[in-house]
Amino acid sequence: MGELYDRMSRDIKLRNLSPATHGQYLRCACHFVRFHMNSPETMGASECKEYLAHLQLLGKGPESLKLYVAGLKFLYSVTLNRPEVADQLPWPKVPQKLVVVLSGTEVEQVLGAVRGLVASVALTAAYGAGLRISEACRLRVEDIDGKRKLIHVRQGKGQKDRYVMLSERLLAMLRRYWAAVRPKHGWLFPGRIEGQHLSPSAVRKALEHAVAASKLKKKVTAHVLRHSFATHLLETGNDIRLIQVLLGHDSIRMAAQYTHVSTAHPGPGHQPTGLAGHQTGRSPRVAGAPPRGARARHRAWAASADGGRHRARPR
């Protein structure tokens, strides 16, 4: 694409879109050009629709097609200043499906099978605070506010900051973890590369192995833990608007999806730090203590919690 590639890259940066969106839009434009072997400046809506139809034949689903449509719309409406082309590209309708939710026992089962202390605690924090995996991986030690019982999530989806609740159990677990690992360079969950945080792909791979080891029949992804967190909150009587704020959703309609999978009707409100509402009637220990299945692996570092000697970090 040459000069056009540079112009599109510049336009994306000027709008301060996320690095992931930046890469996706550019990949879409390059793939579009390779498919037609022609410059986008000489093509229009007909060629765009032909390209999208080709992607459908390749088996791309509605969610994936939305990404390509967004990239083409940006290319034509912004970089090429041809909004009439972008207006002719329809958004594919995405089927509304119920989210997968784990019971508290199943959450324990999965997290108890995670290998590696850093990945295990990162996934536990993601579930216990309702974080996206990318948000959990980017946590810094100073983001844990033990006095106010809050976690500061920086630049989440949509580049928005927010606070989420921090339970006593999760705080105690993070303190024991910090005392054992003493992470450097400020990252709460350091990666293998010096000075960098734990990569989301490494956490997803660790979760994938844990799900296989736990032999669950459900399709479990990192986002399923977040769905489970929200559903457990709803089942313990928390208001749906609170869930919306904690998850960082712009619209309450996103949080409303959990009403369709909850097994309980909303009741009196509870602090969203003691997650319950699952089939066994017992609150999952993962919100603030090592999963039972991982107790042997964590015995050495858990023993370092001696009544607050390491309360300095996290605060």
- Which residues are catalytically annotated? 132, 157, 223, 226, 249, 258
CA distance 295 to 298: 5
CA distance 208 to 229: 19
How long is the chain? 315
Find, among 217, 220, 197, 199, the residue nearest to 208 by Cα.
220
Strand order in the sheet with 150-153: 144-145, 150-153, 162-165
CA distance 180 to 290: 13
CA distance 139 to 145: 12
**108 close to 284: Cβ distance less than 8 angstroms:** yes
Q: Quick check: helix, strand or coil at residue 191?
A: coil
151 DSSP β-pair partners? 144, 164
The residues near 112 (Cβ < 8 Å, ≥ 6 apart) are: 214, 291, 292, 293, 294
Residue with tokens 């910090």: 178
The residues near 198 (Cβ < 8 Å, ≥ 6 apart) are: 118, 119, 122, 137, 187, 189, 190, 191
Q: In the chain, what is the greatest distance between 2 CA atoms, to the nearest angstrom?
A: 70
CA distance 182 to 118: 11
User: Do the bridges between strand 150-153 and strand 144-145 make them parallel or antiparallel, or are there none, so unpaired?
Assistant: antiparallel
